[in-house]
Amino acid sequence: MSSDKGRFISLEGGEGAGKSTQAKALASALEAKGYSVVLTREPGGTSSGEIIRELLLSGTEEKWNTRTEALLFAASRAEHCAKLIRPALERGDWVISDRFIDSNRAYQIVNGELVDQDILDLHRIGSGDLMPDRTFILDLPEEVSAKRAAARDRGGSDRIGRRNRDYHRSVMANFHKFAEEEPDRIRLIQGDQAPNLITDALVQNLQDLMK
Ligand code: TMP
């Protein structure tokens, strides 16, 4: 029953949105339908990308300036696209990435030093503009997201996760804006439902890609 065409799905959202859980559940649901699925994440997904992940997410806020941070995320993605995502799609696999370009667009423009087009330019240079066929944004009320992230990280959140409430509120506003601008690719999914209902909604929103 597998389609001969690989499809590329990304899952996005704020901290504690349940992306990783849903990425796994969606992979299982697609495998049960006969698709071959590659589950991956960003930053990371390749051995060198995972090294960049560690560089980005550990240490103090001052460790990287805004531009270096944006370049490192784009560099991790360039490796990811070249070594893992494109080859998988060419084989006809489905790829599910826990975060991708839209996180770069939502997070690295918040302080106003870079704009959306800068991030898209880096993506063109690094990754040849590869875009997901569908992107899901798991949408959670701010309070729920903050509580879940705190419970998950137990005070040990990463360099970006520990930025303040205003920062994370702007990230979510950016995600909402992208969803409004690109309704065909980007779907907002209510993240505070039972996990199995969220997975059902994801599968439902992929029907058109399964032909
Ligand atoms: P994760 O732990 O949810 O996988 O994400 C790692 C952190 O990196 C999270 O705080 C979001 C952030 N991030 C960016 O700021 N820009 C990006 O391009 C990506 C992929 C993640």
pLDDT per residue over 101-126, tens digit each? 999 999 999 999 999 999 999 999 99
Instruction: Return the best residue to mutate from 57, 103, 120 for the ligand 1 pocket (most ligand atoms within 8 A of CB).
Output: 103
Q: How many CA atoms lie within 13 A of 102 on its CB side?
A: 31
Ligand 1 centroid, distance to 206 Cα (angstroms): 24
Ligand 1 atom at shortest distance from the alpha carbon of 42 = 20
Instruction: Return the best residue to mutate from 107, 119, 157 for the ligand 1 pocket (most ligand atoms within 8 A of CB).
Output: 107
Residue 57 identity (one-letter amino acid): L
Angle (nearest 5°) at CA 146 between 133 and 188: 25
Mean pLDDT of 41-64: 97
Q: pLDDT, tens digit, for every residue of 8-26? A: 999 999 988 899 999 999 9
Q: Which residues pair with 137 in a beta bridge?
A: 12, 188
Residue 1's pLDDT is 43
Ligand 1 atom at shortest distance from the alpha carbon of 99 = 20
Ligand 1 centroid, distance to 200 Cα (angstroms): 25
Residue 4's pLDDT is 67
Q: pLDDT, tens digit, for every residue of 75-104? A: 999 999 999 999 999 999 999 999 999 999
Q: CB within 6 Å of ligand 1 — which residues? A: 15, 41-43, 57, 73, 98-99, 103-104, 107-108, 158, 160-161
Residue 5's pLDDT is 80
Ligand 1 centroid, distance to 33 Cα (angstroms): 30
Instruction: Return the best residue to mutate from 160, 162, 171 for the ligand 1 pocket (most ligand atoms within 8 A of CB).
Output: 160
Return mean pLDDT, the chain.
Answer: 94
Ligand 1 atom at shortest distance from the alpha carbon of 43 = 20
More confident residue, 61 or 151: 61
pTM for the full predicted model: 0.95
SS3 per residue for the chain: CCCCCCCEEEEEECCCCCHHHHHHHHHHHHHHCCCCEEEEECCCCCHHHHHHHHHHHCCCHHHCCHHHHHHHHHHHHHHHHHHHHHHHHHHCCEEEEECCHHHHHHHCCCCCCCCHHHHHHHHHHHHCCCCCCEEEEEECCHHHHHHHHHHHHCCCCCCCCCCCHHHHHHHHHHHHHHHHHCCCCEEEEECCCCHHHHHHHHHHCCHHHCC
Residue 45 backbone class (left: φ over 0; alpha: ψ -120 to 50; beta: rest): left
What's the topology of domain 7-206? Rossmann fold (3.40.50)
Residue 155's pLDDT is 66
Contact partners, residue 20, CB within 8 Å, separation at least 6: 41, 98
